[in-house]
């Protein structure tokens, strides 16, 4: 028998985070599980440090919950083992590790250390999967607005994306700088900077990105020069990473320092959470470096 402290986010999984986290009772029927709402803890580092040494810590939630945890803890290294149970909707972090939904909690310390940081204005934070401004952030922001109007209605993100493709989202001009080398791209639909391969519930903009790369690189994928109709034919291949075959329209660049500047204010998505009115951000692939 073992004792566990389960930190859950009730907002994960479209509001099913608590119920999803309590599914752990079935996975550990002989163990003792104590639950705590992550969003109600004022000082998370002090809370975690005060846990008894014999009590194992599980973070239960989606990618946003995991991102929230690492930023509230604000550490490059963890003294205790951190277990993770995917209880969100997309669970891109879990699937990037090629693990199925329902996988028992597993130790994730190696994936939380020396994470990249993004800086936008005065905001600076770590991210788990990826960040970006483009149709990805448009879809997430539109989803946020729709949930505000009708929190009980199930969202169809495919329909939101189609709306974006045919007029809702206006392609941008973006200047992308990777390790000091700049290029300007026009008619940009997507330009995420990625620590892992997946975002947006299974899209794979950077199929060769490795979150365990010892060199601690990130990858930026620029999808540009597309008409709406052409984008509609290419975007489905994002779910298998096959879009990169279209080299006329897709450029993937690896590096340690990435900055993206766009020609109009846009929502920025950081691990699926939005920041509004952004025209520029900078990423450092080394969390200990100054961005």
Convert the pLDDT of each residue in 255-274 to its tens digit: 999 999 999 999 999 998 99
* Residue 237 clears pLDDT 70, i.e. is over it: yes
Radius of gyration of the chain (CA): 19
Distance CA 29, CA 32 (A): 8
3-113 architecture in CATH? 3-Layer(aba) Sandwich (3.40)
Q: 224 exposed, middle or buried (CB, 10 Å; 0-12, 13-18, 19+)?
A: buried
* Residue 223 clears pLDDT 80, i.e. is over it: yes
Give the residue-averaged pLDDT of 116-121: 96
* 198-208 tens-digit pLDDT: 998 888 999 99
Question: Domain segments of the chain: what residues?
Answer: 3-113, 118-284
The domain made up of 118-284 is a member of CATH 2.60.200.40: yes
Distance CA 251, CA 224 (A): 9
Distance CA 65, CA 112 (A): 13
* Residue 288 clears pLDDT 60, i.e. is over it: no
Distance CA 66, CA 88 (A): 10
Distance CA 279, CA 291 (A): 17
* 1-26 tens-digit pLDDT: 799 999 999 988 888 899 999 999 99
Pairing of strands 273-284, 117-120: antiparallel
Q: 41 exposed, middle or buried (CB, 10 Å; 0-12, 13-18, 19+)?
A: middle
């Amino acid at each position: 028998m073992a004792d566990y402290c389960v930190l859950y986010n009730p907002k994960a999984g479209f509001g099913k985070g608590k119920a999803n986290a309590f599914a752990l009772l079935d996975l550990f029927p002989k163990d003792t599980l104590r639950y705590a709402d992550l969003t109600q803890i004022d000082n998370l580092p002090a809370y975690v440090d005060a846990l008894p040494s014999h009590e194992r810590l599980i973070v239960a939630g989606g990618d946003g919950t995991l991102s929230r945890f690492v930023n509230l803890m604000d550490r490059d290294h963890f003294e205790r083992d951190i277990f993770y149970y995917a209880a969100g909707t997309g669970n891109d972090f879990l699937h990037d590790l090629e693990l199925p939904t329902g996988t028992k909690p597993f130790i994730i310390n190696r994936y939380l250390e020396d994470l990249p940081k993004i800086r936008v204005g005065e905001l600076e934070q770590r991210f788990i999967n990826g960040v970006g401004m483009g149709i990805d952030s448009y879809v997430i922001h539109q989803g946020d607005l729709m949930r505000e109007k009708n929190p009980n209605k199930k969202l169809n993100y495919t329909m939101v994306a189609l709306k974006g493709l045919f007029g809702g989202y206006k392609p941008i001009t973006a200047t992308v700088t990777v390790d000091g080398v700049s290029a300007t791209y026009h008619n940009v639909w997507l330009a995420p900077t990625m620590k892992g391969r997946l975002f947006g519930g299974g899209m794979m903009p950077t199929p060769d990105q490795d979150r365990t790369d010892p060199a601690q690189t990130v990858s930026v994928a620029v999808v540009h020069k597309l008409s709406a109709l052409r984008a509609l034919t290419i975007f489905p291949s994002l779910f298998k990473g096959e879009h990169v075959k279209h080299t006329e329209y897709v450029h993937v660049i690896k590096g340690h320092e990435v900055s993206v500047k766009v020609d109009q204010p846009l929502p920025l998505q950081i691990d699926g959470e939005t920041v509004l009115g952004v025209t520029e951000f900078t990423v450092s692939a080394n969390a200990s470096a100054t961005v």
